[in-house]
């Protein structure tokens, strides 16, 4: 029996099955979050956000060629690249499991029986296919993200260390270690997660090389592995570049050489040093030291993919995040300077106060001929600190979230015990074990709870009494919850199979179990400790733990072999092994595939692309569009850079505009979009200059012309600056009362305002600035307002938060998915304080321009897509409301019918149901009574079921759904009012009956 051929064949069949699965469920275009940026950057070889993924981008660029010039197929083929990488991950996982199980089930010198072969192959198939259909891995496998390729790197190195272990005593066996080093180096150009396998690999080497395993030896091996991890993570990835940067600083500033000279000298010296080390160790016959030099050289060789970042940054492409074109900006890019860092060993409590600021070493920026000091690294001293800080962030709403998770009162101060409690409840429980159970026990739904809310986004098993005991509630779930595609119930079967495999592994081969266990820990729980995540994460973060779930899948595979051994005690082996493999297949991969297919099938999903297109199509030609977050920027970049849609619109991400490199780029044209009208000179906003300016109230009563304030903020005159306690002088904002004089002729000439509003154009725009600081982003926006002279349309994406709009809300008119700046009162009297809608523009957009992402037919909409469904509903209802107010009932009829035509019929969220009363009323208004009644009845039934569910769990968790309960009751009341006003007594009575019933239930509970 040729074991190797069978092992290869079955492994490749598993890979083919996984790859076909991912291709069938793959998103056909861009998706939410990072893929839009990655696809755009890979297609044109551009620079993505820190710390970059150059190898990933170059490989994805290769896949883009399979589109054969069709721009609408480029995203598809890059997604295919992730699907293929994920399929290849599965074959290496299969070979890893079979290699580990073979050592247990096939004793040296004994013949391999057919049942022994089936036991080994069955374990490999069960484990590999369980990981194929695991939630976390499947999610990343069907979109152009780095995690699929990163998982492949992890799978390859772990498989390769087992190949080395089997051949370590053969001539040339150590070439597998060199291969691992090379893959490690390459993986840095994809993602750093692969490096976390190093401690586990070190343990394999120790077990293979030692003649006697001791606790001291294991500890030493682990310490060496951790040291190697630290050496690569910091020494290679960061400090090599840091040494190059400071060498360049010496050559440029001291010797007067050109930029890059010192870095080039350092690079040549490094190569020369490695070459000398190789020569020396060969000449002196030092094999171990020679192997270290060889491995180090291959790590550097793989790491050299980052040369792409420097090369392309110097070409200044359209997407050039951080513009890392010199030694110090490249160092800042690699160090993720844009994102900051979290405290690990010591740090403040979230309610601590800053009592001192200590200055550290200089930071540098590239000047005209030399590197200039941009400032100093600052270290803040707090009045309350702790070791191992977990509750440290005072940003945004984090303090309130900490208090909610820990049950602290408004004035209660956290203690060290709260650190540990937050670690266990949130960082470990919520941000790791919840995801772990999602993958191997079951998932309630895919909605992300922001606070400790156990009725959304938790893990479940599908065993009613256990889920009821954990979460509260009733066995008879609302239809929306039962039918939610993201609800997956595995009945603990994959988890139990993995635990059985783990116990079997402990008993049969403790050394290998320790290696897999170490992989499980370092790629999972260790990441939790290192990331030190604050609450209110903008998205689920389970992708970071894919390596840990990979390790558990190994044990799931071993569970099949363990069950075979257990059954062998009762049955003959020819029966026990096939039955065990069959049971394991149904308990894990088949069950996981059946439950997970509908919520992982993205083959008909176009929401990200189409909604992004709606943002762009909302804008007039040559517009400036301010955006804010990933999801209102990255898909837009994809459309412009890849599909060539609306390249005339200049997309300005306000989250990035606070960086000097972004302002510099905005001063230059890209594609068909002109440069922003920014007058600031580069020296006025470089790093270290006007990073943050503060508001100091000078008691100015009248509004001040924005041009005057901008001149004050940009002035280099010391008399226009304030002196601070540390002796520095800095510009400041003396008033928040702004005004901008309007030239009506310019406004009319540039068609800024519809003709019907010419009489409403104001002479002067007056508003209150809504922040206490001015960053570069606000400076740049003020500059644009002053110097645009109404020549280019200015928009804010619908999703930009109010605090980021400079306080201009009274002058922002809705044109669909974007708000246009107009010198008219956008909240005019007589319109109930609601925002004005330019109905001519929005009607044309809704009926002719907008696409709706197939949202009605898509089997499952993720939480981000659902949020955009709600936003789409508001666009429909606001437009219809304004059309009705203008007496254009026929146009309003078109709009509301278009809404019914494209909006999803299935309701899964109370927040969406709460938006329907307005649309229902508008359907009545335009004569669509039957559609209005159907919509109202469907929503009332949905809310009735939801409130019944909430009532059932209120006894044990009385505040758990407070907001959803209030929203449901308000929506019911509004439906009742609408039906009554329109003479629909049946609908009115039905809605009021539900409202009265649950009002009594919840009001009685306080």
Residues 931-949 have pLDDT tens digits of 999 999 998 998 888 888 8
Is residue 763 over pLDDT 50? yes
Inside any domain, residue 652: yes
On whether both 622 and 524 belong to a single domain, the answer is no
Is residue 444 over pLDDT 80? yes
On the 0-12 / 13-18 / 19+ scale of CB atoms within 10 A, 673 is buried
On whether both 656 and 802 belong to a single domain, the answer is yes
Give the pLDDT of residue 830: 38
Give the pLDDT of residue 959: 53
Least confident of 253-267, 535-549, 770-784, 990-1004: 990-1004
Provide the pLDDT confidence category of residue 739 given band limits of 50, 70 and 90: very high
Q: What is the mean pLDDT of residues 603-630?
A: 94
Provide the pLDDT confidence category of residue 472 given band limits of 50, 70 and 90: low
Give the pLDDT of residue 544: 92
Pairing of strands 692-695, 773-775: antiparallel
Is residue 828 a contact partner of residue 836, using CB atoms and an 8 Å limit?
yes
Inside any domain, residue 292: yes
On whether both 151 and 231 belong to a single domain, the answer is yes
Give the pLDDT of residue 446: 86
Give the whole-angstrom CA distance, residue 72 versus residue 77. 10
Task: Report CA-CA distances (Å) from 564 to 122, 367, 542, 567, 734.
Answer: 10, 70, 32, 5, 78
On whether both 373 and 286 belong to a single domain, the answer is no
Inside any domain, residue 883: no
Least confident of 163-177, 314-328, 437-451: 437-451
| pLDDT, tens only, 74-111 | 999 999 999 999 999 999 999 999 999 999 988 777 88
Q: What is the mean pLDDT of residues 530-549?
A: 90
Least confident of 448-457, 710-719, 798-807: 448-457
Inside any domain, residue 972: no
Residues with Cβ < 8 Å from 64, sequence gap 6 or more? 42, 43, 74, 77, 78
On whether both 843 and 722 belong to a single domain, the answer is yes
For residue 672, the 8-state DSSP code is T
Inside any domain, residue 624: yes
> Virtual CA dihedral for 270, 273, 278, 283, nearest 10 degrees?
170
Q: What interhelical angle do 929-953 and 962-981 show, nearest 10?
A: 150
Residues with Cβ < 8 Å from 362, sequence gap 6 or more? 373, 374, 375, 376, 377
Provide the pLDDT confidence category of residue 967 given band limits of 50, 70 and 90: confident
Range of the domain at 714: 608-852
| CA 881 to chain centroid | 36
Is residue 270 over pLDDT 60? yes
On whether both 650 and 594 belong to a single domain, the answer is no
| pLDDT, tens only, 574-586 | 899 999 999 999 9
Give the whole-angstrom CA distance, residue 260 versus residue 314. 12
Give the pLDDT of residue 1006: 44
Question: pTM of whole model > 0.95?
Answer: no
Q: What is the mean pLDDT of residues 584-609?
A: 94
Share the mean pLDDT of the chain: 90
Inside any domain, residue 249: yes
Annotate 493-522 with DSSP letters as a single string: HHHHHHHHHHHHHHHH-HHHHHHHHHHHHH
Q: What interhelical angle do 889-902 and 929-953 show, nearest 10?
A: 50
Task: Report CA-CA distances (Å) from 135 to 11, 558, 592.
Answer: 21, 20, 9
On whether both 282 and 255 belong to a single domain, the answer is yes
On whether both 66 and 153 belong to a single domain, the answer is yes
Least confident of 468-477, 536-545, 705-714: 468-477
Inside any domain, residue 479: no
Give the pLDDT of residue 477: 77
On whether both 630 and 581 belong to a single domain, the answer is no
Domain-ending residue, one of 548, 575, 600 = 600
Quote the tokens at residue 499: 């635990």
Residue whose token pair is 């009012």: 977
Is residue 678 over pLDDT 50? yes
Number of domains in the chain: 3
On whether both 651 and 560 belong to a single domain, the answer is no
| pLDDT, tens only, 114-138 | 899 999 999 999 999 999 999 999 9
Q: Which residue has the higher pLDDT, 1003 or 337?
A: 337
| pLDDT, tens only, 865-898 | 888 888 899 899 999 999 998 899 999 999 999 9
Question: In degrees rounded to 5, what are phi and psi of residue 571?
Answer: -120, 165
Give the pLDDT of residue 456: 72
Inside any domain, residue 941: no
Number of Cβ atoms within 10 Å of the Cβ of 113: 15
On whether both 558 and 660 belong to a single domain, the answer is no
Is residue 905 over pLDDT 90? no
On whether both 793 and 832 belong to a single domain, the answer is yes
């Amino acid at each position: 029996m040729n074991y190797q051929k069978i092992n290869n064949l079955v492994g490749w069949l598993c890979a083919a099955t996984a790859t076909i699965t991912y291709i069938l469920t793959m998103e056909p275009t861009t998706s939410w979050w990072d893929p839009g940026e990655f696809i755009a950057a890979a297609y044109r070889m551009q620079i993505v956000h820190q710390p970059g993924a150059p190898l990933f981008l170059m490989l994805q660029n290769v896949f883009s060629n399979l589109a054969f010039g069709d721009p609408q197929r480029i995203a598809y083929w890059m997604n295919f690249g992730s699907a293929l990488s994920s399929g290849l991950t599965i074959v290496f996982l299969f070979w890893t499991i079979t290699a580990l199980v073979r050592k247990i089930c096939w004793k040296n010198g004994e013949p391999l029986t057919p049942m022994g072969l089936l036991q080994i192959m069955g374990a490999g198939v069960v484990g590999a296919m369980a990981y194929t259909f695991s939630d976390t891995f499947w999610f990343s496998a069907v979109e152009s993200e780095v995690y699929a390729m990163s998982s492949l790197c992890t799978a390859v190195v772990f498989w390769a260390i087992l190949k080395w272990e089997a051949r370590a005593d053969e001539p040339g066996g150590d070439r597998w270690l060199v291969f691992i080093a090379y893959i490690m180096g390459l993986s840095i150009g994809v993602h750093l997660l692969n490096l976390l396998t190093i401690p586990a690999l070190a343990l394999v080497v120790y077990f293979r090389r030692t003649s006697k395993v001791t606790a001291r030896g294991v500890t030493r091996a682990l310490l060496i592995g951790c040291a190697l991890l630290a050496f690569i993570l910091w020494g290679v990835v960061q400090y090599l570049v840091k040494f190059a940067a400071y060498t360049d600083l010496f050559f440029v500033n001291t010797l007067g050489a050109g930029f890059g000279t010192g870095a080039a000298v350092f690079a040549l010296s490094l190569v020369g040093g490695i070459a000398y080390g190789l020569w020396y160790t060969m000449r002196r016959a030092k094999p171990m030291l020679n192997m270290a030099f060889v491995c180090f050289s291959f790590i550097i060789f793989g790491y050299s993919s980052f040369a792409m970042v420097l090369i392309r940054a110097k070409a200044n492409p359209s997407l050039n995040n951080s513009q890392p074109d010199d030694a110090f900006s490249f160092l800042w890019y690699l160090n993720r300077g844009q994102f900051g860092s979290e405290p690990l060993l010591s740090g403040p409590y979230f309610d601590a106060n800053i009592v001192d600021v200590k200055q550290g070493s200089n930071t540098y920026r590239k000047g005209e001929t030399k590197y200039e000091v941009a400032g100093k690294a600052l270290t803040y001293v707090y009045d309350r600190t702790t070791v191992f800080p977990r509750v440290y962030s005072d940003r945004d709403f984090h303090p309130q979230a900490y208090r909610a998770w820990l049950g602290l009162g408004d004035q209660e101060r956290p203690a060290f015990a709260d650190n540990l409690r937050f670690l266990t409840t949130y960082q470990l429980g919520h941000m790791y074990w919840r995801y772990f159970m999602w993958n191997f026990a079951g998932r309630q739904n895919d909605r992300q709870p922001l606070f400790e809310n156990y009725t959304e986004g938790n893990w479940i098993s599908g065993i009613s009494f256990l889920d009821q005991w954990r979460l509260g509630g009733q066995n008879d779930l609302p239809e929306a919850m039962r039918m939610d595609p993201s609800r997956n119930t595995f009945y603990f079967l994959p988890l139990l199979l993995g635990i059985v495999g783990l116990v079997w592994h402990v008993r049969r081969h403790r050394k290998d179990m320790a290696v897999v266990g170490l992989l499980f820990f370092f790629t999972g729980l260790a990441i939790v400790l290192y990331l030190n995540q604050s609450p209110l994460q903008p998205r689920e973060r389970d992708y970071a733990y894919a390596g840990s779930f990979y390790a558990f899948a190994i044990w799931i595979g071993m569970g099949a072999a363990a069950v075979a051994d257990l059954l062998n005690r009762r049955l003959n082996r020819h029966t026990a092994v096939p039955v065990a493999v069959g049971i394991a297949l149904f308990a894990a991969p088949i069950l996981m595939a059946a439950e997970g297919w509908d919520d992982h099938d993205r083959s008909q999903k176009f929401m990200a692309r189409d909604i992004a297109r709606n943002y762009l199509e909302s804008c007039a030609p040559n517009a400036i569009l301010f955006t804010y977050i990933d999801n209102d920027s990255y898909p837009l970049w994809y459309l412009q850079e890849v599909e060539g849609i609306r390249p005339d619109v200049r997309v300005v991400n306000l989250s990035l505009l606070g960086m000097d490199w972004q302002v510099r780029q905005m001063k230059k044209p890209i594609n068909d979009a002109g440069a922003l009208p920014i007058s600031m000179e580069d020296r006025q906003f470089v790093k270290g200059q006007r990073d943050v300016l503060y508001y100091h109230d000078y008691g100015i009563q009248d509004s001040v012309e924005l041009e005057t304030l901008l001149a004050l903020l940009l002035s280099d005159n010391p008399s226009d600056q304030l002196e601070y306690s540390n002796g520095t002088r800095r510009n400041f904002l003396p008033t928040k009362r702004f005004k901008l004089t309007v030239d009506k002729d310019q406004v009319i000439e540039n068609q800024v305002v519809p003709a019907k509003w010419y009489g409403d154009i104001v002479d002067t725009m007056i508003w209150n600035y809504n922040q206490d600081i001015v960053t570069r982003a606000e400076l740049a926006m003020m500059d644009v307002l002053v110097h645009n002279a109404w020549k280019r349309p200015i928009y804010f994406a619908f999703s930009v938060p109010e605090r980021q709009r400079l306080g201009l809300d009274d002058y922002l008119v809705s044109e669909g998915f974007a708000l246009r700046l107009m010198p008219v009162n956008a909240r005019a009297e007589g319109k109930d304080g609601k925002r004005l809608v330019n109905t001519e523009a929005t009607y044309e957009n809704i009926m002719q321009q907008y696409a709706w992402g197939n949202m009605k037919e898509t089997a499952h909409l993720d939480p981000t897509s659902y949020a955009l469904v709600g936003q789409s509903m508001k666009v429909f209802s606001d437009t219809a409301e304004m059309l009705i107010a203008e007496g254009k009932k026929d146009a309003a009829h078109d709009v509301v019918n278009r809404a019914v035509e494209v909006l999803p019929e299935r309701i899964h969220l109370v927040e969406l149901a709460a938006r329907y009363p307005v649309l229902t009323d508008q359907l009545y208004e335009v004569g669509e009574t039957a559609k209005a009644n159907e919509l109202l009845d469907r929503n009332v039934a949905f809310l009735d079921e939801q409130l019944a569910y909430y009532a059932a769990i209120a006894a044990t968790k009385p505040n758990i759904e407070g907001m959803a309960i209030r929203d449901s009751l308000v929506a019911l009341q509004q439906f009742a009012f609408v039906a009554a006003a329109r003479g629909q007594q049946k609908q009115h009575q039905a809605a009021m009956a539900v409202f009265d019933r649950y009002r009594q239930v919840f009001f009685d509970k306080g």
